[in-house]
A and B are shown apart, each in its own frame.
Chain A
Amino acid sequence: MGQVGLLLALVGILFAVGGAAIETSFSGAYNTAQFFGWRWGKKERPAAASRFTLTWVVIFTLALLVVMTGYDPVKLTEYSVIFSVVALPLTYLPILLIANDRTYMGSNVNGRLANVLGVLYFVVIVAISLAAIPLLIVTNGGQG
């Protein structure tokens, strides 16, 4: 394929990385907007949900600045994943609580089996989250 193949691969990478970058920025903006109770979402015109729009643009720009520092992106990703594991119980527990709230879930509220499995999984998540930072240090960032 030669040059055409390389070009196709680069276009593919551009779309994959670009899409992921926007998606991740959106995720941050969703969290912020829902925390403060703003208008949010793709269904809204960007100008109508202006704070949501600005939030994702700011997150996107901050991420760009971080990338432009020239720090190894693979290492940065590794650290991000580890810190997201540390925060995992904080995102999992609210979902488990909401799943038990009849005002949100109606007839689909969690039953006993779902809750037993949910709590078991929560214990696993807490154990992993507590172990993440010590493991990072002990294994020298996975380098052994």
Chain B
Amino acid sequence: MSKPAEVDIALGILDHQLVDSDGINCGKVDDLELTGLDTGSPEVVEILVGGNAWRTRGLLGRLAGRLAGDAVHVPWSEVESVSSVVKLKRPASELRLGRGDPRWSRLVGKVPGS
């Protein structure tokens, strides 16, 4: 981030769209990993995307979290900027994000014109 600014992490970061360095949507900020809560200087260290990051979201979230496996952990150092979206410094594939579309594109790609 270019300059320090006050951000409400629940309203301003959580659930926001993640966009990689190529401008491609690659998931949501489903949860945040914080450290230093006990020492009085809390710090966001990781963004959790998908999988068991949904486990705190009620019954459906627990079920989805169990089915989807482990969340992807993105270090906060990979964040370029925070606005209405959270922009990342690298392409999604290098951060193990955005793997869902390539997985299904083989099937959709069989349709003419796709």
Chain A interface (Cβ within 8 Å of chain B)?
34-40, 45-51, 53-54, 101, 103-104
Given A36-B28, A45-B114: A50 and B83 within 8 A (CB)?
A: no
Please name 26 pairs of A and B residues whose Cβ atoms are closer than 8 Å in the assembled complex, sorted by A.
Answer: A35-B28, A37-B17, A37-B25, A37-B26, A37-B27, A38-B25, A38-B101, A39-B24, A46-B113, A47-B105, A47-B108, A48-B105, A49-B101, A50-B101, A50-B102, A50-B104, A50-B105, A50-B107, A51-B101, A53-B114, A54-B104, A54-B107, A103-B12, A103-B83, A103-B84, A104-B84
Which residues of B67-114 are within 8 A (CB) of A?
83-84, 98, 100-105, 107-109, 111, 113-114
Q: B108, A53: Cβ atoms under 8 Å?
A: yes
Q: A46, B83: Cβ atoms under 8 Å?
A: no
Asked whether B18 is an interface residue with its Cβ less than 8 Å from the other chain, the reply is yes
Q: In this complex, which of A36, A37, A53, A101 has the most chain B Cβ atoms within 10 angstroms of its Cβ?
A: A37
Chain B interface (Cβ within 8 Å of chain A)?
12, 17-18, 24-28, 83-84, 98, 100-105, 107-109, 111, 113-114
Chain B contact residues: over half helix, strand or loop, or mixed? mixed
Cross-chain contact of B100 among A34, A38, A103 (Cβ < 8 A): A38
> A38 vs B28: C-alpha distance in the bound complex, in angstroms?
8
> Which residues does chain B contribute within 8 Å of A40, judged by CB atoms?
25
> Which residues does chain B contribute within 8 Å of A104, judged by CB atoms?
84
CB B114 to nearest CB in A, in angstroms, measures 4
Cross-chain contact of A54 among B18, B24, B83, B108 (Cβ < 8 A): B108
> Which residues does chain A contribute within 8 Å of B105, judged by CB atoms?
47-48, 50
> Which residues does chain A contribute within 8 Å of B108, judged by CB atoms?
46-47, 50, 53-54
CB B84 to nearest CB in A, in angstroms, measures 5
Closest chain B residue to A34, Cβ basis: B17
> Which residues does chain B contribute within 8 Å of A54, judged by CB atoms?
104, 107-108
CB B112 to nearest CB in A, in angstroms, measures 10
Q: A46, B111: Cβ atoms under 8 Å?
A: yes
